[in-house]
Amino acid sequence: QSVLTQPPSASGTPGQRVTISCSGSSSNIGSNTVNWYQQLPGTAPKLLIYSNNQRPSGVPDRFSGSKSGTSASLAISGLQSEDEADYYCAAWDDSLNGLNYVFGTGTKVTVL
């Protein structure tokens, strides 16, 4: 069971803005940076956002990330059909058991 909680689904029409939330705790998001990954159907995850709000080279600027307290968000502005995918947040979690890289429960984005 993941320690980072995301809504199971989100949707929008082309051109709309979609926001995905990621809720954690003080041991993960509250004290560490957040990354976001996009997984297109049948493919490996791809890094979308790192260090809360940084985009790797080649990622369109309509993808943006933010963090506040123990929560983070991914926004997709100007939604396109090729954005239909699963999105996962991730962060390092420093618990009593040790350090662990944890992923969110995932959000399936549908373009209507």
Partner 1 sequence: QVQLQESGPGLVKPSQTLSLTCTVSGGSISSGGYYWSWIRQHPGKGLEWIGYIYYSGSTYYNPSLKSRVTISVDTSKNQFSLKLSSVTAADTAVYYCARGVEQQLVYFDYWGQGTLVTVSS
Residues making contact with partner 1 (CB under 8 A): 2, 32-33, 35, 37, 43-47, 50-51, 54, 56, 88, 90, 92, 95, 97-106
d(CA 62, CA 77): 5
Q: Do 67 and 75 contact (CB within 8 A), yes or no?
A: no
Smallest separation (angstroms) from partner 1 to the CB of 35 = 4
Query: Which three-class secondary structure state does DSSP give residue 57?
Result: coil
Comparison of 16 and 110: residue with beta carbon closer to partner 1: 110
Smallest separation (angstroms) from partner 1 to the CB of 17 = 25
Comparison of 14 and 101: residue with beta carbon closer to partner 1: 101
Comparison of 45 and 78: residue with beta carbon closer to partner 1: 45
Q: Do 48 and 36 contact (CB within 8 A), yes or no?
A: yes
Smallest separation (angstroms) from partner 1 to the CB of 15 = 29
